[in-house]
């Protein structure tokens, strides 16, 4: 395949993966079948035909409504498909080849975690573990960072947020972080190496501040105890850092 076609292939693959991820995110918490896919309308149970299952296109053609009952199709579905397409396209543009595909997988895992965190404040162990294992495996594609940096990244990511969470709880007497957050930072460390961890946390905090400001501008109250989905903030910070590493900026490599 000519190199210029790879980002396009990334977009197409992203749409397909995104459709699966959206189903995962919207159904997993209710433990409805994910394998069966988005095969029926969530509202009336109408069995969807092939032409109603095309990522993004079906949504646009049907104006976001079920053909049978006219119920609005969750916009989350199409948003996740678009985000996954964007991740696939950008990753394979930044690195046309195996490294780009690995980066796309990193991005798609982050996307699934971010969406579950925003919607359900839930970072499933199975997904954070997949993030960690795939990050260590990416080393075997001979792409930086070195394996030792990834292993230290995994441990340091997990331990640092665990300690911060314990400290916070002992001072404030309540949880400031979700239980999955340290595991997720560990998983990110397995991909980016330990040197990237401070930037992930600082980036996530900056994004969090921007989100809080935009909430206030829109008149949404931000109580001192409203819990920002830190996992999704880390995801937003981590993918650009992968791009930066890959584009040759390098973080001490």
> Any idea what DSSP says for residue 46?
P
Helices (H), 95-196: 98-120, 125-138, 147-172, 181-192
- Looking only at residues 67 through 126 of this chain, which bind Zn ion when binding is defined by CB under 5 A? 68-69, 71
Site track for Zn ion across 135-174, x = CB under 5 A: ----------------------------------------
Maximal CA-CA distance, the chain: 58
Q: Quick one: 46 or 121, whose CB is closer to Zn ion?
A: 46
Let me know: does 134 contact 186? Beta carbons within 8 Å.
Answer: no
Report the nearest approach of Zn ion to the CB of residue 62 (Å).
10
Cα–Cα distance between 23 and 18 in angstroms, integer? 8
| Cα gap 223→245, rounded to integer Å | 36
* Selected binder of Zn ion within 13, 17, 26, 41 (CB under 5 A): 41
Residue range at the interface with Zn ion (CB under 5 A); choices 42-50, 53-61, 78-86, 238-246: 42-50
Q: Token pair for residue 9?
A: 């292939």
Which region, judged by CB under 5 A, interacts with Zn ion, from 17-25, 45-53, 107-115, 232-240?
45-53
- Taking alpha carbons only, the member of 42, 118, 36, 121 closest to residue 80 is 118
Among 27, 43, 119, 121, which residue sits at the site for Zn ion (rule: CB under 5 A)? Answer: 43
Number of shown-chain residues binding Zn ion (CB under 5 A): 8
For Zn ion, the closer of residues 71 and 143 by Cβ is 71
Looking at 5, 36, 44, 222, which residue binds Zn ion (CB under 5 A)? 44
Other CB atoms within a 10 A radius of the CB of residue 74 amount to 16
Site of interaction with Zn ion (CB under 5 A): 41, 43-44, 46, 66, 68-69, 71
């Amino acid at each position: 395949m000519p190199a210029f076609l790879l980002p396009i292939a990334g977009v197409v693959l992203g749409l397909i993966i995104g459709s699966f991820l959206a189903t995962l995110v919207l159904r997993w918490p209710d433990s409805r079948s994910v394998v069966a896919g988005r095969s029926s309308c969530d509202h009336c149970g109408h069995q969807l035909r092939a032409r109603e299952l095309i990522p993004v296109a079906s949504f646009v053609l049907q104006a976001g409504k079920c053909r049978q009952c006219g119920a609005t199709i969750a916009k989350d579905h199409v948003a996740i498909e678009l985000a996954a397409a964007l991740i696939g396209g950008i990753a394979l543009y930044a690195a046309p080849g195996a490294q780009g595909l690995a980066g796309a997988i990193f991005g798609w895992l982050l996307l699934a975690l971010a969406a579950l965190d925003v919607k359900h404040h839930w970072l499933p162990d199975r997904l954070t573990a997949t993030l960690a294992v795939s990050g260590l495996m990416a080393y075997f594609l001979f792409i930086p960072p070195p394996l030792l940096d990834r292993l230290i990244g995994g441990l340091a990511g997990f331990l640092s947020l665990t300690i911060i969470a314990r400290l916070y709880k002992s001072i404030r007497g309540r949880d400031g972080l979700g239980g999955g957050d340290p595991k997720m930072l560990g998983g990110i460390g397995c991909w980016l190496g330990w040197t990237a961890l401070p930037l992930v946390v600082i980036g996530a905090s900056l994004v969090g501040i921007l989100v809080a400001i935009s909430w206030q501008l829109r008149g949404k109250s931000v109580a001192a105890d409203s819990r920002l989905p830190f996992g999704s903030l880390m995801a937003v910070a981590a993918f650009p850092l992968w791009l930066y590493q890959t584009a040759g900026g390098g973080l001490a490599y």
